[in-house]
Amino acid sequence: MAERDCSLQLQEQVQRQLQSGAGEGLDIAGGASRTGFNLAVGENPLSLAEHAGVIDYQPDELMLKVRSGTSLASLEKLLAAEGQGFAADIPRPGAGSTIGGAVATGWDGPARVFGLSLRDVVIGCRMLNGRGEIVNFGGQVMKNVAGYDLSRLQVGALGTLGVLLDVTLRLWPQPEYSLTRSFVASVDDLPQWWQKTRLLRPLISGACHCGDRLYLRLSGRRAAVVPLLDSLGGEDSDFDWCAVRDLRHRFFSAEQLACVYLPRAMPFEPRSGTAMVDWEGARVWVADGDHGALQRQAAELGGFVRILRGRVLAAAGGGEDWHRRIKRAFDPEGLFNRDLYRTHFGGAEV
Q: Which long-range contacts (CB under 8 A, 24 or more apart) does 246-251 make?
A: 246/91, 246/92, 246/93, 246/94, 246/109, 247/37, 247/91, 247/93, 247/308, 248/93, 249/210, 249/276, 251/210, 251/276, 251/285, 251/287
- pLDDT value of residue 168: 97
248 in Cβ contact with 241 (< 8 Å): no
Reference 167, options 138, 207, 194, 210; nearest CA is: 138
Percent of the chain with pLDDT over 90: 78
Which pLDDT band holds residue 32 (cuts at 50, 70, 90)? confident
Cβ-Cβ contacts under 8 Å for 279 (sequence gap 6 or more): 110, 112, 113, 207, 264
- pLDDT value of residue 348: 54
- pLDDT value of residue 146: 45
- pLDDT value of residue 144: 44
CA geometry: angle 99, 260, 120, nearest 5 deg: 40
Phi, psi of 4, rounded to the nearest 5 degrees? -155, 130
Percent of the chain with pLDDT over 70: 93
The mean pLDDT value of the chain amounts to: 91
- Write the pLDDT tens digit of every residue in 158-187: 999 999 999 999 999 999 999 999 999 999
Q: How many CB atoms lie within 10 A of CB 39?
A: 21
- pLDDT value of residue 145: 45
Mean pLDDT score, 316-335: 81
Q: Indicate the length of the chain as a whole number.
A: 350
Confidence check: pLDDT of 148 > 90: no
Q: Which residue has the higher pLDDT, 3 or 220?
A: 220
Burial class (CB in 10 A: 0-12, 13-18, 19+), 119: middle
Mean pLDDT score, 21-41: 84
Q: Which residue has the higher pLDDT, 58 or 311?
A: 58
Which pLDDT band holds residue 53 (cuts at 50, 70, 90)? very high
Specify the pTM.
0.91
- pLDDT value of residue 140: 59
Confidence check: pLDDT of 349 > 60: no
Confidence check: pLDDT of 315 > 80: no
